Structure 1
Amino acid sequence: MKTFIKGVLLSVWGAIGIITGLQAQEFSKLTPKQIGDKITLEYAISGEAVGQQFTVSPFYSVDGGKSFLPLKSVKGNVGSNIPGGRNQIIVWDVLKDLKELDSDVVFKLEAVSKNVVPLQDDFRDVVFKLESLNRTTNGNIELILSITNNGPTRDLKMINGLIIITDFNKRKYDAQKGKIAEVEGNERYSTPQRTIKKGESVKARFLFERVPAEVDRAMRLDIGVELITDETYGIDLKIGKLQFRDLPISTVQTAGMRVEQTKKLQIASSPQHFTIRKVMVVDNNPPVIELISPANIPLVGKEATRGRPYAQSSIGMDDKRLRSLATGEELATTDEFTMVKARVTDESGIYDVTVNGISAEPSKEGVFQVKV
């Protein structure tokens, strides 16, 4: 009976340890910026579990945060299946939702945690699933992988020095100890190697020492692998590299943990003034075309003939005057082709120039050249 009670107490304390070790999931920033007639919302979610996903919804308020309306014309890191991490961006196309905006605006983001999707990658029919990236009790970082071989029986090699964490200051830390199933390698250049049969799954564990305590996210995790297959005609060696980006480093192992389904995050920005209006541009003058070569050939706006230049301004206004050679001023030549060079100008800029349906691609000075 005493042994049974002791086992129960240990289980309870173990569960409490896991729960209290979890980091708080939260928005760590929200920064609105205006770019032209669009507004970007830069945000970050921290403290999430590895592979945890969120449904992110953006809102805005023009009454100081008393009431909020949803942003509709948005793209980027918004909607369902959004992972946590830094450098998340939502782009709001303001004028698709509003006629204009000229007000102090408060933005708000809400996120609901839905599920955890295993982070995994595969190489040559071997699947590497990231189960945990966490701090140990003595401050080191531990990486736990679940590896499944869906191909033929082969040897798996993983060099400790090629398992590398890069933080957001571009500092690199490679593993000093590694273990694939029961095979260990306890030096930086050790190479744990283990035969894995078809359909077999094994666990791999790597330990990173002397990683500063302030590093709580990995900008990148690189994993170097080698697969050796004994084939009929010799040995087949395949070398590969897997990569995972923007990963949280938790305070406890996350393998097998469940995400709280009702977890809801929220953040609001400070009021900020934005002015965005539609700009109407009126251009009543068509582009002007000056023929440079052949020289001394006047263009007149009478009937259309072969070889007429045609221009369009940057706001879409066409020069609809038909351009032809003046009667009696025709160019006579025995050459199969003639090189036409001209300059086109317009107060609103030039969008495109075509000659006989061919784009002439004018220079910055408006000079174009085409063979007719």
Structure 2
Amino acid sequence: MQKRIRSYFDQFHQTVWVLLIGTVLSRGAAFMTMPFLAIYLSRQDLHPIFIGLTIGMSPLMGTIGGFIGGHLSDRYGRKPIMLIALIGTAFSYLSFALVESPYWFILLNAVLGLCNSFFEPTAQALMGDLTSKEKRMKVYSLRYIAINIGASVGPLIGAFLAMTNAKLTFLITGTIYFLYAIILYIMIKKVTASAVIKNKTTLSQAFNIVKKDRALRFFILGGILIAIGYSQVESNLPQHLTDSVENSVMLYSILLSLNAIVVVLLQLPFSTVMEKYQPMQMMVVGSILTIIGLLSFGFATTWTVAIIGMVLFTFGEILSFPSSSLLIDQLAEDHLRGTYFGASQFRNVGSFGGPILGGFLLSQVGGVMAFVIISIICLGSIAFFSLGNRVNQIKETEDITLDI
């Protein structure tokens, strides 16, 4: 038994495990805080569109910063970019507890989004650097499980603190990210010194390279549309449930935890099946399930309908998220892995626009029609992912022919 456990841990580089454990702690703290930011702001009597703008600033800055951060990690190394990003994230969360003006929340959420956009693609690229190709689907699945282990506990703690002392959640989250930065610096000081194939490609040259990749373009376009749907869960779903379901704060906390628990239980079993199909194919199926889940949220007037909707929504995530990471890994050359993961952050245009669009629809046509319209918009992602899958298959066929 001991040898089996040791063998399991030895299949991945120790730095990968440091990142996975750090993901559990840091994401748990983040999920304890950010999902309740919309509720916290709504208690300040702010307009739903203003709340949507505040929530949307983080993914907007992620759109801008992801490509730059990924490119810098290719050029200067993964570690310095990750450490700078973690310190900036810690600063942002700690500042949330100190400010009063709603405009400060917009600014700090923008800084938070920029730091996250530097860290996430760089961390994923480093995992790819240190993992053999045949094990990358598993490591990306483990990363998503790690996110959701933290997410399964964070919302429940956050719900309690949101009703008692909301500012304390910001202080706790900021402290955890600061400690994560210190531990990461100590643990990977030596082992990642040669982990990255550094290159001298300029930012404009890197942009031109990824711009010519048609499969990547279709992935980004589809990702933008489906991200509009994903963004509703943290921005407008809690506001909609407040009007349609009793004891909505507790229900919302349970939905977020259910989402995480289902991922933790089913992600690895699903990943075994997912390895048999193209990533884009899995993202098409994932989009269909996500859309059905969003429609269920819109028509939810009871806890049962909302819970069924979250289960379907989660199945969509299980198929889509690791598949998207594997797709980017497959498309990128080794020396451009960070750049490609950064370029994938352009899909955050949907995460920025989604809360604003959803907030506008919520105030104008009500929650039911808002989620119906959002679901119709998300249907477009299926077309783009299907086109991207076709392009990718043609490219793989050409590569095989050239090898022969």
Task: Indicate the structure (1 or 2) with the bigger Cα radius of gyration.
Answer: 1
Larger proportion of helix? 2
Q: State the TM-score, normalizing by the size of structure 2.
A: 0.19
Greater per-residue strand proportion: 1
